């Protein structure tokens, strides 16, 4: 029984270490290639990054962590699991005008109607994109983010260049993300805080009129709900 107890303790410790490595890597893993030029060409990782890399290397060496699995887990929470909640909120607002009105009036309650709430989503505000208004969300102080509807914040959202340029040059920043806005479109920048967090309600894409709620939700991306992208229809399939 003593051996079994040791095995159980080792399993718990390994699980805790793996979770710690995952959480730390989420907080510090390198910025995407597209934004490297904003990092001042930093060649040596920051001290927290060095610690995380050392911890990850140790866990990998001991066979406790599969780096590919860790990356896949981060990708799932950043791009799939978390943002699907917000996508369902957006899709519901597109097909249900009464729900959309409730969402824009009291986003916290409207989001709770779909079963989403809790830490990071207690005080929500939804801001609507229109042909003449485009909304962009940032947290200028740290990385306040609506976890309950968007999952893990992307690394670039927490970066100093994004946080500063979203305020100083939002149009230039959006252009780097591939989003070019007309001069007649007003850009509104919303600063998230620990007390108040924002969800962008993107415009429904043209050509989606025949799609149901589930199909619409599949179109909505995390980036569109932050405001650095539009929701678009997939290209038509070519038949050769």
Domain limits at 45? Answer: 2-65
Asked if the structure places residue 200 within a domain, the reply is: yes
* Residue 126, token pair as written in the block: 């939804």
| Per-residue model confidence as pLDDT tens digits over 125-138 | 999 999 999 999 99
Q: For residue 240, tell me if it sits in a domain.
A: no
Annotated active-site residue 164? The verdict is no
Catalytic entry in 16, 46, 57, 142: 142
Q: Which residues contact 11 (CB under 8 A, 6 or more apart)?
A: none
How confident is the prediction for the chain on average, in pLDDT?
Answer: 81
So what's the pLDDT on residue 25? 53
Do residue 105 and residue 200 come from a single domain? yes
Q: Which of 18, 93, 144, 192 is catalytic?
A: 144
Residue 80, token pair as written in the block: 């799939």
**pLDDT (tens digit per residue) in 44-94:** 455 666 776 777 787 788 787 788 887 777 776 666 667 999 999 999 999
Q: Against a cut of 0.75, is the pTM above it?
A: no
- Model confidence at 42: pLDDT above 60: no
* 133 & 181 share domain: yes
- Number of structural domains in the chain: 2
Q: Round to whole Å and give the CA distance between 56 and 164.
A: 31
Same domain? 58 vs 92: no
Catalytic-role residue among 143, 159, 164, 208? 143
> Any catalytic annotation for residue 18?
no
Q: Virtual CA dihedral for 101, 105, 109, 114, nearest 10 degrees?
A: 30
Of 18, 93, 139, 192, catalytic? 139
């Amino acid at each position: 029984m003593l051996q079994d107890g040791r095995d159980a303790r080792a399993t718990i410790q390994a699980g805790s270490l793996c979770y710690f490595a995952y959480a730390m890597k989420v907080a510090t893993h390198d910025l995407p290639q597209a934004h490297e030029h904003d990092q001042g060409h930093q060649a040596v990782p920051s001290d927290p990054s060095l610690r995380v890399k050392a911890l990850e290397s140790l866990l990998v060496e001991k066979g406790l962590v599969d780096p590919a699995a860790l990356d896949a887990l981060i990708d799932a929470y950043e791009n799939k699991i978390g943002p699907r909640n917000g996508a369902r909120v957006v899709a519901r607002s597109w097909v249900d005008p009464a729900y959309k009105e409730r969402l824009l009036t009291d986003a916290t309650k409207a989001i709770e109607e779909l079963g989403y709430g809790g830490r990071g989503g207690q005080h929500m505000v939804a801001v609507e994109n229109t042909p003449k208004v485009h909304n962009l969300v940032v947290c200028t102080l740290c990385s306040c983010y609506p976890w309950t509807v968007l999952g893990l914040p992307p690394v670039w959202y927490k970066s100093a260049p994004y946080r500063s340029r979203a305020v100083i040059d939002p149009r230039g920043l959006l252009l780097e993300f591939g989003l070019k806005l007309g001069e007649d479109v007003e850009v509104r920048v919303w600063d998230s805080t620990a007390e108040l967090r924002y969800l962008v309600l993107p415009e429904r894409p043209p050509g989606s009129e025949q799609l149901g709620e589930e199909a619409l939700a599949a179109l909505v991306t995390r980036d569109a709900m932050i405001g650095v992208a539009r929701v678009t229809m997939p290209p038509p399939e070519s038949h050769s």
